[in-house]
Structure 1
Amino acid sequence: TALRAYAAEGHPPDVVVHHANRLLMDMETDLFATCAYVDVDLEEGSAWCVRAGHLAPVLRHPDGRTEIVEAEGGPPLGVMRQADFPMSPLRLQPGTVIALTTDGLVESAEADIDAGMDRLAHELARLDPAHLGLVADALLVGARRSDDIALLLMRYDGMAVRPLRESWTVWRVPEAVGHARRFTRRTLRTWGVPAQGIDAVLLVVSELVTNALVHTDGRVRLDLTLVNDRLRVAVADASPRTPVKPTSISWEATGGRGILLVEAMSATWGTVPVSGGKQVWSEIALGG
């Protein structure tokens, strides 16, 4: 739960694991836990691995070769307060399978962990990665049940369409919203978005940027991402407070309709924590 919470705040993997370790130490119990954390960038085909006393990932490359990743590691969580948890880079080609497991799968009275990891890598090499459920079943056949077993498999398939991305830093000037609208209109025209779809996007941009400028301090950033016919508008600010959708607005009210307009114009919208602040996002379907 702690790892998920720190990851949701937008921290890099080494910071997430460091914070989780500190939290466990502060609990002043005899508890400890091992951890393997892999953060995958699906667009770039890259990943970062952090280990805390846990087994390294096993990679199955597209040509069938397997590799036990030589990733540096730190001690288990809850053992040393000043522990270091270095990040190790991974390069993924489309078709690569990442396997993470616990020692219950690879260690037994007859074989040590190293032999068990070699056996896992050999089995993974001979299996067809097209159906990961069948791969998992095959790897678990004959596993001893004297210890808990966890197995996680992921296949990186690459991206058929690379997203188009542009960002704009919103300066706190009287014309800030107008500048954001002009940036958005210019970007969408460059991307070939039809003119009839731009007005709805500009309205969402206006409301999200205005909300950030009025209700927060510090830097505001506008991000646009286009994948196929779906546009994501995201505005990040320095406040962790999530915007609240009003339940009712009287006819004479002069404010409070911004989030309702965003909801009406969006296929979906939401907010996520980002590095001490938040990002409010909206996805708009541009297709007919």
Structure 2
Amino acid sequence: AGAATIMGQMRTAVRAYAVEGHPPDVVVARANRLLAGMETDLFATCGYVDLDMEEGIARVVRAGHLPPILRHPDGVAEEMVVEGGPPLGVLAEAEFPMTEAGLIPGTLLVLLTDGLVESSRLRLEEGVRRVCDVLAAADPVDVGGVADELVGGVGRRDDDVALLLLRYDGQGDRPMRSHWTVWRVPNAVLHARRFTARTLRSWGVVEELDEALLIVSELVTNAIAHTQGEVGMDLTLSADRLRIAVNDGSPRSPVKPVWVSWESTGGRGLLIVEATATAWGSVPLSGGKQVWAEIPWRRGS
């Protein structure tokens, strides 16, 4: 019961730190300090993978846990080489290095606990080899079938088993991205609009340009007027939409006014963004936030 309680607390902590926008190594390090500060002699292992599905990049952090296993499209299955740290709760100031791996379409990523590969009758190395053999012979198209083969092909176990599989299929069109650091000068919004116009025209975005410039004006104005520190703008063009995001150093989420009088000189920015974009929102980032908006886009429109 005590171990289950600790595990639940750690899962909640990891999720909370991840939602705040921290990178994987920071997420695991903060969860480790939290557990180390609790009045318990228990610890927990952790395998954390952050996946960029558009770029095909897996960022992995290990805390006393088994590394992921990759099944490549050519059938070769192998453990990822991932430098690890100690289990959570052992050393408060432990370091947890992050390892990046590129995934090509057709790759299977497998996360598992040692209950699947180790028992009193099975050495860990032999268990991992068996998993790799099953993956090499499996049909990666049927991920559920692969999971059934892995779980059902070992026999009696001494411990619980957790297994997670993901097949990365890639994307036909890689999104185009561009970043701009907004200068805190009197003409900051003008410079941001000019950068946006140049970038979108080079990407072939024409009919949506006026809407994009209006959103940029409002988001950048809000960031400059209501926050301190650096402001950045990110443009992302995918197959069907344009995303405009402005990052600032304030963790306070923007609040849309319920009502604005005709005499007011401000307060309409988010109302304009909401009326112009198909979707908008705010997400926390390390030490600040990102306010984003999306508008639809069709190639050749």
Listed one character per residue, the Cα deviations across residues 65-89 of structure 1 (whole Å, up to 9, x for unaligned) are 1101232221110112232222233
User: Counterparts of 1:47 and 1:186 in 2: how far apart (Å)?
Assistant: 32
| Aligned equivalents of 2:263, 2:158: Cα separation in 1 | 69
Does residue 155 (structure 1) correspond to residue 176 (structure 2)? The answer is: no
User: Paired residue for 1:176?
Assistant: 188
Q: Distance in 1 between matches of 2:102 and 2:209?
A: 38
CA distance in 2, matches of 1:275, 1:37: 18
Alignment of 1:87-166 (within 5 A): 87-142=98-153, 144=156, 146-166=158-178
In 1, distance between residues paired with 2:82 and 2:43? 21
CA–CA distance in 2 between the matches of 1:69 and 1:190? 39
Map of 1:221 onto structure 2: 232
Give the secondary-structure state (helix, strand or coil) at the position aligned to 2:284.
strand
Report Cα offsets for 1:242-274 as digits up to 9, x if no partner: 101222333433322211111111111111122
Alpha-carbon offset, residue 90 of structure 1: 2.1
Q: Which secondary structure state, in structure 2, belongs to the residue aligned with residue 39 of structure 1? A: strand
Q: Distance in 1 between matches of 2:157 and 2:284?
A: 40
Question: Which position in structure 1 is the counterpart of 2:205?
Answer: 193
Structure 2 unaligned segments of length 5 or more: list them: 1-11
- 1:254 and 2:265 aligned: yes
- For each residue in 1:39-69, what CA deviation from the matched residue of structure 2 results, as whole angstroms up to 9, or x when unmatched? 2333443333211111111110110011012
Query: 1: distance between equivalents of 2:51 and 2:211?
Result: 33
> Contact 2:119–2:159 (CA<8 Å) still a contact in 1?
no
Number of residue pairs aligned between Structure 1 and Structure 2: 287
| Cα shift at 1:145 | 6.0
Distance 1:82 1:223 in 2: 34
**Map of 2:4 onto structure 1:** none
Whether the 8 Å CA contact 2:177–2:236 is kept in 1: the answer is yes
CA distance in 1, matches of 2:14, 2:143: 25
Q: What is the SS of the residue equivalent to 2:208? A: helix
What is the aligned-residue identity percentage?
Answer: 63
Instruction: Give the Cα separation in 2 of the matches to 1:167 and 1:85.
Output: 29
Q: Which segment is superposed worse, 104-113 or 60-69?
A: 104-113
CA distance in 2, matches of 1:15, 1:140: 32
For 1:250 and 1:30, the matched residues in 2 are separated by 59
Verify: 1:76 aligned to 2:87, yes or no.
yes
Structure 2: how far apart are the matches of 1:82 and 1:219? 29
Counterpart AA for 1:22: R
Q: Distance in 1 between matches of 2:126 and 2:210?
A: 62
Q: Which runs of 5+ in 1 are unaligned?
A: none
1:207 aligns with 2:218: yes
1:55 partner SS: coil
Q: Deviations over 1:214-258 (max 9, x none)?
A: 100111111111012310000000111110122233343332221
Secondary structure of residue in 2 paired with 1:243 = coil
User: Does 2:253 match 1:270?
Assistant: no
RMSD (Å) for aligned C-alpha atoms: 1.8
Determine if contact 2:55/2:174 at 8 Å carries over to the other structure.
Answer: no
In the alignment, the residues of structure 2 paired with residue 151 and residue 128 of structure 1 have an alpha-carbon distance, to the nearest angstrom, of 17
Deviation at 1:146, TM superposition (A): 4.8
**Aligned equivalents of 1:183 and 1:71: distance in 2?**
40
Cα gap change, 1:229 to 1:90, in 2 (>3 Å): closer
User: Are residue 63 (structure 1) and residue 63 (structure 2) matched?
Assistant: no
Q: Relative to 1, partners in 2 of residues 1:249 and 1:146: Cα closer, same or farther, differing over 3 Å?
A: farther
The TM-score normalised by the length of structure 1 is 0.93
Q: 2 CA distance for matches of 1:88 and 1:207?
A: 38
Separation in 2 of the partners of 1:145 and 1:272?
Answer: 42
